[in-house]
């Protein structure tokens, strides 16, 4: 979709979103698509590992998780404000598997609201984690690219794309090592990237996919890489 087409769709979504809370249908909080009570009750990902955003016990707040201490990811830090559970998992599923633009717009609004102005000023470019073309055709759209294009336009920064070289098998049921092996060499980036880059996805599990993409981006010139994702799978989830 062209930039003008994205702008028209987003304008229509903004007109439709205010008024009622997307979760309980109570009056919304100003122009935001949620009420204060539902926003407070969302499963916020606090505390979390500062590197990979894995949910942490309170006693470990602000400290890297064991996995990051053993093998730091190729990205520098992850900003993932919510846990993938409850109302948030429903939003992600409607966006990802049913191509709901309203669910996508709410996820993006929640992510953007959680980023301080200084963080939003960080990137020189945004890039979504690409689906393989066959998977994108099957699903009907590429959800991470959908998020990245819209947020890049809002922040006034470049939108860059990577290519998925092969249609990797599902990560479901694989441990961390198997996920890394499954994604080795899966991504290619054409051209030179700016020094500061943000990678976006809709949901993060172990971070193996983002780690593999970050490695390809470093080879293309990115020096400092952040990961921005609306939701992170909790520790107890498969």
pLDDT in tens, 126-153: 999 999 888 888 888 899 999 999 999 9
Reported pTM: 0.86
pLDDT of amino acid 238: 46
- Round to whole Å and give the CA distance between 33 and 147: 17
- Residue 80 above 80 pLDDT? yes
- Tell me the two tokens of residue 228: 């921005």
- What integer best gives the mean pLDDT of the chain? 87
Question: Which domains does the chain show, CATH number per domain?
Answer: 1-41 (no CATH), 45-232 (3.40.50)
Confidence of residue 163 (pLDDT cuts 50, 70, 90): very high
Angle subtended at Cα 200 by Cα 59 and Cα 125, rounded to the nearest 5 degrees: 120
String of DSSP letters for 126-140: EEEPPPPHHHHHHHS
pLDDT tens for each residue of 214-226: 999 999 999 999 9
The highest-confidence range among 60-69, 150-159, 172-181, 201-210, by mean pLDDT, is: 150-159
Q: Which residue has the tokens 């669910």?
A: 103
Burial-class residue 169 by CB neighbours within 10 Å (0-12, 13-18, 19+): exposed
pLDDT tens for each residue of 3-61: 455 455 545 555 555 578 989 999 998 888 999 999 999 999 999 999 999 988 776 67
- Round to whole Å and give the CA distance between 21 and 32: 8
Long-range contacts, 157-160 (Cβ 8 Å, 24+): 157/123, 157/124, 157/125, 157/126, 158/124, 158/125, 158/126, 158/194, 159/125, 159/126, 159/127, 160/125, 160/126, 160/127, 160/189, 160/191, 160/193, 160/197
- Residue 195 above 60 pLDDT? yes
193 half-sphere exposure, CB direction, 13 A CA radius: 29
Q: Evaluate whether 28 touches 18 at the Cβ level (below 8 Å).
A: yes
Q: Evaluate whether 229 touches 53 at the Cβ level (below 8 Å).
A: yes
Quote the DSSP letter at residue 108. H
How does 7-32 read in b/e, with b if 16+ C-beta sit within 10 Å? Answer: eeebeebeeebeeebbbeeeebeeeb
Strand spans (E) along 149-223 = 158-160, 163-164, 187-188, 196-200, 203-204
- Residue 167 above 80 pLDDT? no
**Between 59 and 118, the higher pLDDT residue:** 118
- Round to whole Å and give the CA distance between 98 and 189: 29
- Round to whole Å and give the CA distance between 146 and 142: 6
Rounded mean pLDDT, 118-132: 96
């Amino acid at each position: 979709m062209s930039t003008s087409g994205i702008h028209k769709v987003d304008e229509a979504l903004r007109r439709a979103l205010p008024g009622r809370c997307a979760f309980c249908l109570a009056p919304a909080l100003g122009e935001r698509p949620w009420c204060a009570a539902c926003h407070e009750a969302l499963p916020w990902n606090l505390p979390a590992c500062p590197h990979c955003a894995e949910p942490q016990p309170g006693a470990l707040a602000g400290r890297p998780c064991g996995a990051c201490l053993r093998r730091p990811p190729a990205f520098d830090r992850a900003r993932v404000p919510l846990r993938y559970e409850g109302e948030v998992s429903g939003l992600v599923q409607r966006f990802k598997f049913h191509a709901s633009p309203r669910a996508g717009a709410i996820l993006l609004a929640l992510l953007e609201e959680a980023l301080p102005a200084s963080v939003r000023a960080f990137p020189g470019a945004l890039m979504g984690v690409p689906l393989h073309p066959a998977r994108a055709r099957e699903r009907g759209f590429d959800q991470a690219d959908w998020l990245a294009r819209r947020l890049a336009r809002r922040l006034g920064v470049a939108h860059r794309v990577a290519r998925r070289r092969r249609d990797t098998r599902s990560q479901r049921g694989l441990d961390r090592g198997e996920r890394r092996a499954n994604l080795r060499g899966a991504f290619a980036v054409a051209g030179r990237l700016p020094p500061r880059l943000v990678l976006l996805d809709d949901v993060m599990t172990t971070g193996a996919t983002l780690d593999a993409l970050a490695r390809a981006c470093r080879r293309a010139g990115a020096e400092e890489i952040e990961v921005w994702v609306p939701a992170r799978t909790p520790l107890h989830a498969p």
